């Protein structure tokens, strides 16, 4: 199954990436496009391990946080670097939801709430890999009925493609045999100067969103869709991440910075431009296109330098940002939010594109 019409052929090669603590061998795939962009992805957690893109002079840098070896990813760290997230990306309040009159209990792994699929989410499982004819990578995983508390045998497929237009395209598809909820995403942490090159406060961000979902102290949405107008959450014009992040604002206090879901302005169902980030010293630009209704813009507020990543570099506070395309947090408990319910006979699919350029 090819989810996305691909624009051309990438070259794909594979190699061993190591063994998990229980002895399972894991692979790493290297995709290269004709412009020399390179993405390395492992079937452990579907993690984007590295992503090399050119700056305005053509110099390549790896712009995503992560680890040199599998051990970094299997060790108990809580940052989800580069990983596929599911079944439910982001938070579910009180770690429970009710569907068709049945209450489902989830792991409370973030205070009293459930975060990013529970204890062993999509980021910690081994996906079945397959190289696609266009040089893309397909990853499939059967999440069994009851896994992490979620109902239904969920057959999940994720495709990564690297196109000649310098895009990393991610396609998600799923079917279930019982009513369930689903909200998959990817949790790459970007620093357009290069991973481990200081903070991202000078990156200029534009978000195509007139509203965001304010949260309580546990980062669960209150249910309100609040206009960004006149708040530090207004990124409708390109603004430095650091320009307002320390303002005295209750929402910024709850998130310890930006850690919120923006309600994307939408005009139709196709993936549309939702976010743009520009880093002036290197000229690198990231554009994010998605068909999802929201995006979690997280500014790495919980990184504290204790984790040493690639090349032994410490990842300090706000040394990267994430743009996690998604449905709104806690949707299973928020009847007014767009539904995340998937039923037997339906096929879930979504597309997110990370597009890279420099000027």
Among 108, 111, 243, 302, binds ligand BGC (CB under 6 A): 302
Binding region for ligand BGC (CB under 6 A) out of 198-206, 269-277, 295-303, 310-318: 295-303
Residue 244: CB atoms within 10 Å: 16
Binding region for ligand BGC (CB under 6 A) out of 21-29, 77-85, 155-163, 266-274: 77-85
Judge whether 290 and 351 are in contact, CB under 8 Å: yes
Provide the β-strand partners of residue 12.
31
Active site residue 187: yes
Q: Is 298 in the site for ligand BGC (CB under 6 A)?
A: yes
Angle at 198 between CA 192 and CA 204, to 5 degrees: 45
Binding region for ligand BGC (CB under 6 A) out of 15-23, 74-82, 95-103, 152-160: 74-82
Provide the β-strand partners of residue 163.
none
Judge whether 277 and 17 are in contact, CB under 8 Å: no
CA distance 87 to 85: 7
CA distance 265 to 62: 31
CA distance 68 to 195: 12
The tokens describing 338, both together, are 């767009």
CB of 156 to ligand BGC, least distance (A): 19
Q: Is 296 in the site for ligand BGC (CB under 6 A)?
A: yes
CA distance 98 to 101: 6
Judge whether 217 and 253 are in contact, CB under 8 Å: no
Among 321, 324, 328, 340, binds ligand BGC (CB under 6 A): 324
Rg (CA), the chain: 19
Active site residue 138: no
Among 79, 166, 292, 351, binds ligand BGC (CB under 6 A): 79
Of residues 116, 161, 187, 203, which has the active-site annotation? 187
CB of 16 to ligand BGC, least distance (A): 28
Residues numbered 182-221 forming contacts with ligand BGC, rule: CB under 6 A: 219
Binding region for ligand BGC (CB under 6 A) out of 7-15, 37-45, 73-81, 146-154: 73-81
Provide the mask over 23-62, with x wherever binding to ligand BGC is found by CB under 6 A and - wherever it is not: ----------------------------------------
Residues of the shown chain interacting with ligand BGC in the complex, contacts defined by CB under 6 A? 78-80, 90, 219, 259, 296, 298, 302, 324
């Amino acid at each position: 199954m090819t989810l996305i019409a691909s624009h051309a052929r990438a070259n794909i090669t594979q190699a061993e990436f190591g063994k998990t603590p229980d002895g399972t061998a894991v692979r790493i795939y290297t995709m290269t496009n004709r412009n020399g962009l390179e993405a390395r992805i492992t079937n452990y957690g579907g993690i984007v391990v590295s992503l090399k893109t050119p700056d305005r002079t053509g110099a390549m840098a790896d712009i995503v946080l992560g680890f040199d070896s599998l051990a970094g990813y299997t060790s108990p760290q809580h940052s989800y670097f580069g990983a596929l997230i599911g079944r439910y990306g982001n938070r579910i309040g009180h770690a429970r939801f009710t569907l068709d009159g049945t209450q489902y209990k989830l792991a409370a792994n973030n205070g009293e709430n459930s975060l990013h699929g529970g204890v062993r989410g999509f980021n910690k499982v081994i996906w079945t890999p397959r190289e696609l004819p266009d040089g893309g990578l397909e990853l499939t995983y059967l999440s069994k009925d009851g896994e992490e508390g979620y109902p239904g045998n969920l057959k999940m497929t994720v495709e990564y493609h690297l196109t000649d237009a310098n895009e990393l395209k991610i396609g998600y598809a799923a079917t279930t045999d019982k009513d369930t909820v689903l909200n998959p995403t990817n949790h790459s942490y970007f620093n357009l100067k290069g991973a481990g090159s200081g903070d991202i406060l000078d990156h200029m961000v534009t978000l195509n969103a007139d509203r965001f979902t304010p949260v309580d102290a546990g980062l669960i949405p209150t249910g309100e869709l609040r206009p960004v107008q006149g708040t530090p959450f207004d990124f409708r014009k390109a603004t430095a991440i650091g320009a307002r992040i320390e303002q005295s604002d209750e929402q910024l206090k709850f998130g310890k910075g930006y850690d919120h879901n923006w309600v994307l302005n939408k005009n139709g169902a196709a993936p549309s431009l939702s976010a743009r980030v520009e880093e002036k010293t290197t000229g690198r630009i990231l554009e994010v296109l998605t068909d999802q209704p929201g995006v979690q813009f997280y500014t790495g507020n919980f990184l504290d330098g204790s984790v040493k990543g690639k090349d032994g570099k410490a990842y300090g506070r706000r040394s990267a940002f994430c743009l996690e395309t998604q449905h709104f947090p806690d949707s299973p408990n928020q009847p007014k939010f767009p539904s995340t319910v998937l039923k037997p006979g339906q096929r879930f699919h979504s597309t997110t594109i990370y597009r890279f350029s420099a000027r």
